[in-house]
Amino acid sequence: MDSSPTYDGLPPVASSSSSSSSAALFANNLKGLLLAVASSAFIGASFIFKKKGLKRAGASGARAGVGGYGYLLEPLWWIGMITMIVGEISNFVAYMFAPAVLVTPLGALSIIVSAVLAHFFLKEKLQRMGVLGCVLCIVGSTVIVLHAPEEKTPSSVEQIWNLATQPAFLFYAASAVAVSLVLMLHCSPRYGQTNIMVYLGICSAIGSLTVMSIKAIGIAIKLTVEGINQAGYFQTWVFAMVAITCIIIQLIYLNKALDTFNTAVVSPIYYAMFTTLTIFASAIMFKDWSGQSASNIASEICGIITVLSGTTVLHSTREPDPPSSADLYTPLSPKILWHIQGNGELGKHKNDDLLSAEFITVVRQDYFT
């Protein structure tokens, strides 16, 4: 008779199997951790490459912030795009090995990477209060992620379609699209160059819908590889079209934000807003808010407040980029136009071509300060 010790009624072989399972789980988590760190490094560096490409494009033509697309001809911008794609792929694969609670908070490392690289390569300085705001964004977003509800993984594209067409998520999606349209059509032409929340609000709201669509596409690809073809379902192609459209919109307005504002400010604000809205959209779509404890809900609210505080501090300490030479020929501000109207009589007396020294002084003080 075998006298080997047993644990909980299981033979030693079962104990050995449990140990190997734990080792495999640790190895998978380690792979996910390394992939997530590499993803953050790539994504953080991509901001710098894209910013330098945008600056070169702006020096020789219309800037992206005012509707130019010359950056598409800049090699540095494409290096940034490729770097970002590699980072996003690494992040996607990381979720295959490690849980979201481990992978998602590590996305905050991209903020630190971009801020450090911007300091050395773009000469963008981050004030002490800006550092505090950056820390608040990271801490707040991490708290939100750690206390976010667990997500149930659907087993087919049809299941995700049913979740996406439930009234609660349809209301969220319609609200996100409506807010984005208002920001794009009304706020962007008027306040886009002075308020960072306009461009990043569009990127974050549309980005939350992008993640939901990408998740559906990922499940479709996984099932197709396993032998259950999902290409025949129209839902798969609807999700694909939504994802492509949202990604294009995100890229356009993220480029405008990078071209207009300090990179060290764009990165943490975009990360904080995108993370918050994505968690919110996922919780609505998958109904994960039900069953949450009061402590988790309170922690999530505190995390959101912390993120909002951090973004406020960052925005208030933003160091504006010096105006480029092309900016000297942009249309005059409404205040200058008001001065022109107020001095119209003087201009008429000088054949509408000459302006007094007093008027030029007013313009200089009003426009360049």
Q: Which of 10-14, 87-91, 222-226 has the highest mean pLDDT?
A: 87-91
pTM above 0.75, yes or no: no
Question: Domain residues of the chain, as ranges?
Answer: 23-124, 130-319
Phi, psi of 352 (to 5 degrees): 65, 10
Query: Is residue 312 helix, strand or coil?
Result: helix
Q: Which residue has the tokens 């995108």?
A: 274
Query: Is the CB of residue 148 less than 8 Å from the CB of residue 257?
Result: no
pLDDT digits (tens, 9 = 90+) for 308-328: 787 677 666 655 555 544 444
**Rounded CA separation 305/108 (Å):** 17
Q: How confident is the model at residue 181 (pLDDT cuts 50, 70, 90)?
A: very high
One-letter amino acid of 184: M
Q: What is the DSSP track for 166-203?
A: SHHHHHHHHHHHHHHHHIIIIIHHHHTTT-HHHHHHHH
Would you state the structure tokens that stand for residue 182, as one six-digit string? 């208002």
Q: Which of 146, 69, 124, 148 has its CA nearest to residue 267?
A: 124
**Rounded CA separation 232/207 (Å):** 26
For residue 227, the tally of other CB atoms under 10 A from its CB is: 6
Query: What is the pLDDT of the chain when averaged over all its residues?
Result: 75
Q: Which residue has the higher pLDDT, 24 or 93?
A: 93
CA dihedral over 336, 339, 344, 346, signed as positive or negative: negative
Residue 106 DSSP label: G
**Rounded CA separation 102/141 (Å):** 13
**Rounded CA separation 267/48 (Å):** 10
Which range among 65-79, 169-183, 226-240 shows the weakest confidence by mean pLDDT? 65-79
| Residues whose CB is less than 8 angstroms from the CB of residue 33 and which lie 6 or more positions away in sequence, other chains included | 94, 98, 102, 103, 106
Query: Is the CB of residue 192 less than 8 Å from the CB of residue 199?
Result: yes
| % of the chain exceeding 70 in pLDDT | 69
Q: How confident is the model at residue 33 (pLDDT cuts 50, 70, 90)?
A: confident
**Rounded CA separation 267/258 (Å):** 9
Q: How confident is the model at residue 126 (pLDDT cuts 50, 70, 90)?
A: confident
The pLDDT of residue 175 is above 90:
yes
pLDDT digits (tens, 9 = 90+) for 326-346: 444 444 444 444 444 444 444
